Structure 1
């Protein structure tokens, strides 16, 4: 179980760091306003659009990847063990 925890934690940390970098660059217009949760630029160029897609992807990958290894994989393993014990 510790290896699943560390895989989920590694996904959460690395993808979360990537999201923080992208959000810091593109969603923080000033230090007086909202930081990391602001809005993206209104007229983004090509590279900003790519960064927006990557940033959103990293955010959802961090959340869903960690939940997959912390909840889904252990639940599947327990169900497999329960099914094997039932036979």
Structure 2
């Protein structure tokens, strides 16, 4: 169980770190006005749009990866052991 917890925690921290770095680059208007919820500029180049796509991907990777290792895998093991004991 500790192995699944640390894998989920590593995915969560890694994914949120990636999300926070990209959000800091594209959603922070200036150095003194640090907030990660400002709307993004409309005129972006292709690599900027790709980075914003990665930002969304990092967020979903963090959420779904942590839920997989913290909920789905332990629930699957419990179901498998209950099925074997039946």
Query: TM-score band (shorter)?
Result: over 0.9
Query: CA shift at 1:61, angstroms?
Result: 0.6
Gaps of 5+ in 1: none
Cα drift, residue 43 of structure 1 = 1.0
Q: What is aligned with 2:61?
A: 61
Scaled by the length of structure 1, the TM-score of the pair is: 0.91
Rounded Cα–Cα distance in structure 2 between residues aligned with 1:38 and 1:70:
31
The offset of 1:36, in angstroms, is 1.0
TM value normalised by structure 2: 0.92
* Structure 1, 10-19 or 38-47: larger mean CA deviation: 38-47
CA-based RMSD: 1.1
Where do 1:14-25 residues align within 5 Å? 14-25=14-25
Deviation at 1:47, TM superposition (A): 1.1
Deviation at 1:41, TM superposition (A): 1.5
Q: Which runs of 5+ in 2 are unaligned?
A: none
SS in 1 for 2:29: coil
